[in-house]
A and B are shown apart, each in its own frame.
Chain A
């Protein structure tokens, strides 16, 4: 598979993650919606850190900001920062077992969410609701499956 096509798979998975992020869910489940975009971006950072890193994460975060109608740049900031942390330590995180990785992903998601909240809090008086953090649990629980699916996709299409 040639270069352009394999790169296309990365972008396709990011677009799918964005769609999942805005897909309608029942109100009870909505708080538990995993942070799909964070999961997918972090997978690609761990797998191909020279391909997907801060720049890709920033652009993806910006598009999500437009999609969700929030202040431009807040998710871009959060995603860029955690992507940096992940890309700096990718060799360490790669050697963890998948459940240890899930914990790392959880910590990174918390930091991302806090960064987003702080940035939003600085520009408008918003209220922090506890439901905001519930999605971290589902994000951690779903990491192993996202990891397996994306790894299979990556190997199948020979993305490198």
Chain B
């Protein structure tokens, strides 16, 4: 019988090395955030595995798309054409209103709102850490994605980009425990914060006094105050407003308007602070100015 652990250091020493290495990694990663510059590289390194894990469902989608019948396609096409027709007619008015709004804002001396550049991203259905709410999308730094980028879909705000790889990136959902977003009540412009709770169906609105005029069913929209999310996107609907005289603040819960457990396509937004918004994603190419720890920033913005 050959000696079991003859070569190299003994098992105890190996364990000691492994424990020391992991503890220092945990500390360096979470407290000092030393690895965020290398995360792009690390994420790109493992993205082949993610694409491979995603392949079966991709294949299933392709097959399902191939076997759809002609009648179904025709019916769907008709339905979609009608939808486009309706949306187009709304858009006619929208253009007009936008123009009018911009003129009024100019009269008031407020900055004119610009259109944001958008890009569609698909969620790669890969599983994530059970303690955090994250999804992986199929766009990365090669597409100009940057850390802290706002992510929405057709219903409302989904979250923000947490980490970027070259072809994939990770989106932190608004319901994650570490996420907070500045909000405004659409009905009466009260400003507040909406913090994630770790529950996909619930956001927590802290520090609301008892006397505040809040009703169940009030819509929360982004206030644009953090400078990270553009203003006016719907986030959540108040579904609980309770107060206990003994407590300093009321207890306010909101339900996200996006059903976050069944999202598929997302929109990445490039906020247009530059005067020329439509041409290139300038802020996206240089990630340096926004390189500070994403986790702690998420709470402010």
Contacts and interface: CB of A to CB of B under 8 A. Distances in A.
A54 B134 CA distance: 29
A45 to B, nearest CB: 11
Contacts of B127: 21-25, 30, 33, 68
B46 interface: yes
A66 B43 contact: yes
A123 B2 contact: no
Contacts of A66: 42-43, 45-46
B224 interface: no
A73 B29 contact: yes
Contacts of B35: 72
Interface stretch (B51-59, B81-89, B145-153, B213-221): B51-59
Interface stretch (B17-25, B67-75, B280-288): B17-25
Given A50-B2, A117-B131, 10 more contacts: A24-B53, A62-B25, A71-B30, A72-B25, A72-B35, A73-B24, A76-B21, A80-B22, A123-B26, A126-B198
A124 B30 CA distance: 8
B31 A123 contact: yes
A119 B26 contact: yes
Contacts of B22: 58, 61-62, 73-74, 76-77, 80, 119
A126 B11 contact: no
Size category of the A interface is 35 or more
A41 B248 CA distance: 52
A125 B299 CA distance: 13
Nearest to A21: B127
Interface string B1-41: 01011110001001101110111111111110001000000
Most central of B22, B23, B54, B295 by chain A CB within 10 Å: B22
A32 interface: no
A34 B56 CA distance: 19
Nearest to B178: A124
A22 B53 contact: yes
Contacts of A125: 177
A54 B14 contact: yes
A22 B49 contact: yes
A77 B30 contact: no
22 contacts: A19-B52, A24-B54, A24-B125, A24-B126, A49-B4, A50-B7, A54-B18, A55-B14, A62-B22, A69-B162, A70-B131, A72-B25, A73-B23, A73-B24, A76-B22, A77-B18, A77-B26, A81-B15, A81-B19, A125-B177, A127-B177, A132-B130
Contacts of A18: 49
Most central of A54, A117, A120 by chain B CB within 10 Å: A54
B25 A126 contact: no
Interface in A39-88: 49-50, 53-55, 57-58, 61-63, 66-74, 76-77, 80-81, 84, 87-88
Contact of B129 (A24, A53, A69, A129): A69
A54 B76 CA distance: 56
Nearest to B123: A24
Contact of A123 (B19, B30, B56): B30
A54 B54 CA distance: 30
Nearest to B35: A72
Interface string B157-174: 000001100000010000
Interface in B222-271: 261
A18 B35 CA distance: 22
